[in-house]
Structure 1
Amino acid sequence: MKDDRSRELWQRSQKVIPGGVNSPARAMLAVGREPLFIRSARGCYIEDVDGNRYIDYVGSWGPLILGHADPDVVAAVKKAAEKGTSFGAPTEAEVNFAEMLTRLIPSMEQVRLVSSGTEATMSALRLARGYTERDLIVKFDGCYHGHSDGLLVASGSGLATLGLPSCPGVPAEVAGLSVSIPYNDLAALEKLFHEKGDKIAAVIIEPVAGNMGVVPPAPGYLQGVREICDEYGSLLIFDEVITGFRVALGGAQELYGVTPDLTTLGKIIGAGLPLGAYGGKAEIMQKVAPCGPVYQAGTLSGNPLATAAGLRALDMLDVAGVYQRLEENSAKLYDGLGDIFTKAGVPHYGNRVGAMFSYFFQKGPVTDWTSASKSDTEAFGRWFRAMLGRGVYLAPSQFECTFMSLAHDADAIEQTLSAAEEAIKEV
């Protein structure tokens, strides 16, 4: 594998970009190598600046469920760009897109478009506080909801990857307005509400955790969280930045039959372009300016290029058989990898929900951050490097997901499993 050009860009980037990357997850520090610089992608393949081609299971960290550079999505973006890239004024596409989101996710009676998942969750929490007139937010250890100040408490994703327990620059007074407790532990949530229920504005949760690796909710857990929130008059926020339109057309709330008060969505709704949204009950959303006093704004919210991409992508997902195909292909790869690990005698434990899964290098089970953190991260690093050397690009962290797309066909899956049979010998 050639990497001369990537090494050159890595040296240059470190002089002008902190850590050489514009997002810590890209640094590959956790897997013991320098990052690759990508120049193009199509379908389920990416190509780096040295001409190396890989089967990609990152998919821009989840949103590219149609695969890279889908021709229909690209055509929609080009057509929109020819009319202008940004107006800072309402467009018909924004209305069409909001109508589509409220149809596909019925709990979102009204929706506000933003530019990222972080912006969506930050805005939803402000709205929850404004609506309930309470200050305290409850989150869960290992769940990541973006990098806004109040949520960088016991977070997963990049903080977990880099081994950082907290974030300097977040005032203690701000951090103190968020309480983090174990995921999948209903008793801990009941105890907290018994002590502070009248102060809790909202519970924000990844209905399927995807930032400490994939960790599904225990049977009845989400229903229990819903009941506790109802009992104490707190809002339930589902962070579906990862699960929305990935585990089902209607997200995890459709899959598990639990209705949140507010939902946040991220880059998947823009087919990988910068786009996010938050929405929920009309009574709550009417508190958002200009209807109500909870202020939130954004010049690029509902950007015409992003909404054009999102409209086309969601339209293509809203077709019979799409999610069945995703389920079957994901199961084929997941089960195949599990067989390879078992035959090699490598300790492993897997979790899969639809088109997202993780294998942890440990015996398991993995049900929360405490159990996920017991994984052998050095073994994962060897696995990552061995697979990369055989043309398979995985997320460079034990605590991220493997994402399947509709572009991963039988040939790509077979190539991946063949690579895995060889790569596991290095683990």
Structure 2
Amino acid sequence: MKCTTETRVGNVLAGWNHLSVVGPVNIKNASGARVQLDTGEWYDDYIMGWGSCLLGHDSVIIKDSITSSLSQGFLQQYETDKHRLLSEKFCAAVPCAEKLRLVNSGLEATMYATRIARAVTGKRIILKFEGHFHGLNDSLTWNVDSSPRSGQILASSELERLSGTVGIPDEYGTLTVPIPWNDSQAVQRAFERYKEDIAGIILEPVALNIGCIRPDEGFLQELRALTSQHGALLIFDEVLTGFRANLGGAQKDYGVVPDIAAYGKAFGCGMPIAGIAGKAEYMDIIAPRGPVQVSGTNTGRYLSVSAALAVIEHLADGNVFRYIATLESQLKKGLRDIFDKHGIPCYLDSYGGRIGVHIGAYERPRTMREIENSYPVEFAKKLFNILSREYNLYGFLMPLSYCPEPVTLSAAHTPKMIEDACDRLDSALKRLKFHEK
């Protein structure tokens, strides 16, 4: 069957690549922080592999590591000195990491992290937070977008279970308890209600999947204390925060050490690699030392490990993080000035070069429901459409169904690109009348 324009609507590698409003985009080339469409036009990229391409689309650091590996059985996935070195450097940088096990994706890392928690504690239930996304595995894809679908807060302070996709039996929801982000009382009530059956809490330490919402002051410390008190494991999903602001991740920034942490995205800076790290007493339950199976044919492929090792060595001096932080400050100031100029309420926050632009918010939103109540989706869609189709900005200020996707910066962006993006936004807003939700 010949593929026509109409049938190409599903022509994407991942569902999210079918961008809101503009649909799928066919890329001909990519260089640095820019992508070339099949029309020949170059666009400045503010998605950057959904946050994974920290060093750009064609980093010479990664390219050189791949080139040097091509003569060494580059498809093998057996243990080598590079595997050992990567583990040693990773564990030296990440506070919770006494041991590291490689996996293929963030989805696998979070899935295995909860399996470890259940095996270690002998308990069943995992607490998670509304809007936090931990990959599309069956046990954690609950209440990732429940506010727009009128999920109810129950008398117990937990949320009505709503699966994030069709195809997950309701029975899985009985083992996952979703609660509002930044709600200490809801966490305490969950421990009271489920008493001795909570195996762990999993969370994004900075909630980037709902547009970058930081934890309230002291909130992570409360989670640490509660899990320790009740014999549950504290699991940080650092797939988005890990290696974005520093090598130690959000746990280093906030001074809260989890029991287990999951990594992906910037770990390999675009190469397919992820990992589970944690305290030795918990990691030793993984086979072959223990009974928990964590394995995969593609785990720890030599090319990916070589690239990840080159990346962690390149990032060690902190220069990349400092450069991205400078760009982040420049863009936040530019956005702040432009939205103020046009009289549009907007709250900005950021972490590791990923900036949440909460149009319509007069103050910091603390929960997913507060975002959903203030974010003007229809206005955001119109603005995104103009920026995408007429100003050659790829993914800049992209709206999701209920919140903004963070603008993503990389080491390949330049101050001139930031200046240009702000100028184009200013021009677009002159053509579009703001209306609140």
User: Is TM-score (shorter-chain normalized) higher than 0.5?
Assistant: yes
Contact kept, 8 Å, 1:86 with 1:300, in 2: the verdict is: no
Which residue of structure 2 aligns with residue 368 of structure 1?
367
| Letter in structure 2 aligned against 1:380 | A
Q: 5 Å matches for 1:69-148?
A: 69-148=58-137
Q: Could you tell me how far 1:324 is from its partner in structure 2?
A: 2.3
Return the alpha-carbon distance in structure 2 between the equivalents of residues 378 and 253 of structure 1. Answer: 36
Summarize deviations over 1:144-201 as a string: whole Å, max 9, x none: 00000011110159x989x996322211111210010000111111111122131100
SS at match of 1:326: helix
Which residue of structure 2 aligns with residue 391 of structure 1?
392
The counterpart of 2:279, out of the listed 278, 281, 305, is 281
Q: Could you tell me how far 1:138 is from its partner in structure 2?
A: 0.4
Which residue of structure 2 aligns with residue 57 of structure 1?
46
| Letter in structure 1 aligned against 2:340 | T
* CA pair 301-288 structure 1, distance change in 2 beyond 3 A: same
SS at match of 2:195: helix
Contact kept, 8 Å, 2:273 with 2:304, in 1: the verdict is: yes
Return the alpha-carbon distance in structure 2 between the equivalents of residues 206 and 88 of structure 1. Answer: 30
Return the alpha-carbon distance in structure 2 between the equivalents of residues 129 and 177 of structure 1. Answer: 11
Which residue of structure 1 aligns with residue 340 of structure 2?
342
Contact kept, 8 Å, 2:145 with 2:164, in 1: the verdict is: no
Q: Could you tell me how far 1:219 is from its partner in structure 2?
A: 0.9
* CA pair 56-235 structure 1, distance change in 2 beyond 3 A: same
SS at match of 1:211: helix
SS at match of 1:358: strand
Summarize deviations over 1:47-96 as a string: whole Å, max 9, x none: 11111111111110112111220112112112223333322422222111
* CA pair 165-172 structure 1, distance change in 2 beyond 3 A: closer
Return the alpha-carbon distance in structure 1 between the equivalents of residues 391 and 414 of structure 2. Answer: 18
SS at match of 1:179: strand
| Letter in structure 2 aligned against 1:135 | R
Of 202-211 and 80-89, deviating more is 80-89
Return the alpha-carbon distance in structure 2 between the equivalents of residues 156 and 401 of structure 1. Answer: 16
SS at match of 1:207: coil
Return the alpha-carbon distance in structure 2 between the equivalents of residues 265 and 52 of structure 1. Answer: 34
SS at match of 2:49: coil
The counterpart of 1:205, out of the listed 203, 206, 231, is 203
Return the alpha-carbon distance in structure 1 between the equivalents of residues 169 and 229 of structure 2. Answer: 31
Q: 5 Å matches for 1:152-231?
A: 152-156=141-145, 166-231=164-229
| Letter in structure 2 aligned against 1:193 | F
Which residue of structure 1 aligns with residue 17 of structure 2?
26
Summarize deviations over 1:301-331 as a string: whole Å, max 9, x none: 1111111111111211111433222212101
Which residue of structure 2 aligns with residue 3 of structure 1?
none
* CA pair 172-141 structure 1, distance change in 2 beyond 3 A: same
**Is 2:405 the partner of 1:400?**
yes
SS at match of 2:210: coil
Which residue of structure 1 aligns with residue 139 of structure 2?
150
Summarize deviations over 1:3-49 as a string: whole Å, max 9, x none: xxxxx8854544xxxx3323221112x3x222211122111111111
SS at match of 2:113: helix
Summarize deviations over 1:198-237 as a string: whole Å, max 9, x none: 1100100000011111111111111111111111010000
**Is 2:287 the partner of 1:296?**
no
Return the alpha-carbon distance in structure 1 between the equivalents of residues 285 and 236 of structure 2. Answer: 19
Contact kept, 8 Å, 2:29 with 2:37, in 1: the verdict is: yes
Contact kept, 8 Å, 1:361 with 1:377, in 2: the verdict is: no
Contact kept, 8 Å, 1:9 with 1:37, in 2: the verdict is: no
* CA pair 252-276 structure 1, distance change in 2 beyond 3 A: same
Return the alpha-carbon distance in structure 2 between the equivalents of residues 104 and 422 of structure 1. Answer: 43
Contact kept, 8 Å, 1:361 with 1:379, in 2: the verdict is: no
Contact kept, 8 Å, 2:98 with 2:277, in 1: the verdict is: yes
Return the alpha-carbon distance in structure 2 between the equivalents of residues 9 and 104 of structure 1. Answer: 50
| Letter in structure 2 aligned against 1:397 | P
Return the alpha-carbon distance in structure 1 between the equivalents of residues 195 and 423 of structure 2. Answer: 53
Aligned residue pair count? 412
| Letter in structure 2 aligned against 1:232 | H
Return the alpha-carbon distance in structure 1 between the equivalents of residues 263 and 145 of structure 2. Answer: 18
Contact kept, 8 Å, 1:144 with 1:156, in 2: the verdict is: no
The counterpart of 1:250, out of the listed 230, 236, 248, is 248
Return the alpha-carbon distance in structure 2 between the equivalents of residues 144 and 382 of structure 1. Answer: 26
| Letter in structure 2 aligned against 1:366 | P
* CA pair 77-47 structure 1, distance change in 2 beyond 3 A: same
* CA pair 192-121 structure 1, distance change in 2 beyond 3 A: same
Which residue of structure 1 aligns with residue 426 of structure 2?
421
Q: Could you tell me how far 1:385 is from its partner in structure 2?
A: 1.7
Of 40-49 and 318-327, deviating more is 318-327
* CA pair 143-9 structure 1, distance change in 2 beyond 3 A: farther
Which residue of structure 2 aligns with residue 410 of structure 1?
415
Return the alpha-carbon distance in structure 1 between the equivalents of residues 209 and 351 of structure 2. Answer: 14
CA RMSD of aligned residues (A): 2.0
Return the alpha-carbon distance in structure 2 between the equivalents of residues 11 and 304 of structure 1. Answer: 40
User: Where in structure 1 do 4 or more consecutive aligned residues deviate above 6 Å?
Assistant: none
Of 353-362 and 227-236, deviating more is 353-362
Return the alpha-carbon distance in structure 2 between the equivalents of residues 84 and 11 of structure 1. Answer: 43
Return the alpha-carbon distance in structure 2 between the equivalents of residues 77 and 397 of structure 1. Answer: 35
* CA pair 73-173 structure 1, distance change in 2 beyond 3 A: same
Residue identity (%):
33
SS at match of 2:199: strand
Unmatched tracts of structure 2, length 5 or more: 152-161, 433-437
Of 362-371 and 146-155, deviating more is 362-371
Return the alpha-carbon distance in structure 2 between the equivalents of residues 9 and 417 of structure 1. Answer: 37
SS at match of 1:351: strand
TM-score normalised to structure 1 length:
0.92
SS at match of 1:150: coil
| Letter in structure 2 aligned against 1:386 | I
| Letter in structure 1 aligned against 2:386 | A
